[in-house]
Structure 1
């Protein structure tokens, strides 16, 4: 499952370079089967703005987000307890003293999506590669290792590299 466009686009559309203002998100086909369930590439470090886009643009066929837990060091303008979104309010919390480059999204059915957070300053090639790696079935990398690997590699790594558990 790949989503790299605005919510009006079909959730199964192939990912190309996203246009400005569109959610940069890739999700695995089957949530909960791998180390990560996908990746999210926000455009800035303003968590309040970026979370609204993520929550409001999350593919409705995958559920509705009711709570977000995040890793605080990389974010500015962090909401304290809740965030107003199009569907009402989303509860917000953080992992103290944590820098795992993750967000945990709790859905209405209580399932949890674990997404790698790609730094906004990644180049287009590295950002797309990190999204691909996080959403590739069989991924065994945690978010921090995945991002360090992508940063150190050429942006043309093939998808097989990620599925092999390297």
Structure 2
């Protein structure tokens, strides 16, 4: 007796948030332009943002608003519920914001992350992320 071949299962979805944060020192906070780097798996912000927000330091507080380049993301809702909390997503069309994500937490502050393109090679992403956390650019 032979059995029917099992259909090939799809590859597992990528997991884990690829995030590097710079050491925060309040004395030079005004000099730092970038607080870290994020390398999402896809350009689907609706799928990627909850994982990112779940990995941020508690000291950053609850992120209530996110600003992103509107043209760079395939799915970019105006509002999302993340961990039971509303998060407003604002689109910009600024050339300066093309590879950046701005996170806002009321009463806590603002944090800017470099967004490494999902299609970047591991070596390229590593260089960009390292530079973001060490040089703030």
Give the TM-score normalised by the residue count of structure 1: 0.65
Q: Which has the larger radius of gyration?
A: 2
1:91 aligns with 2:85: no
2:64 counterpart SS class: strand
Query: Cα RMSD over matched residues?
Result: 1.8
1:42 counterpart SS class: coil
Gapped runs of 5+ residues in structure 2?
Answer: 1-13
Paired positions, count = 119
Displacement of 1:90? 0.7
The worse-fitting range, judged by mean Cα deviation, of 127-136 and 57-66 is 57-66
Are the aligned partners of 1:58 and 1:64 in contact in 2 as well (CA < 8 Å)? no
Gapped runs of 5+ residues in structure 1?
Answer: 1-19, 142-166
Higher RCO (Cα < 8 Å, 6 or more apart): 2
Displacement of 1:110? 4.1
Displacement of 1:97? 4.9
Are the aligned partners of 1:101 and 1:116 in contact in 2 as well (CA < 8 Å)? yes
Give the TM-score normalised by the residue count of structure 2: 0.77
In 2, Cα distance between equivalents of 1:97 and 1:66:
21
Displacement of 1:51? 1.1
Structure 1: 4+ residue segments shifted above 3 A:
none
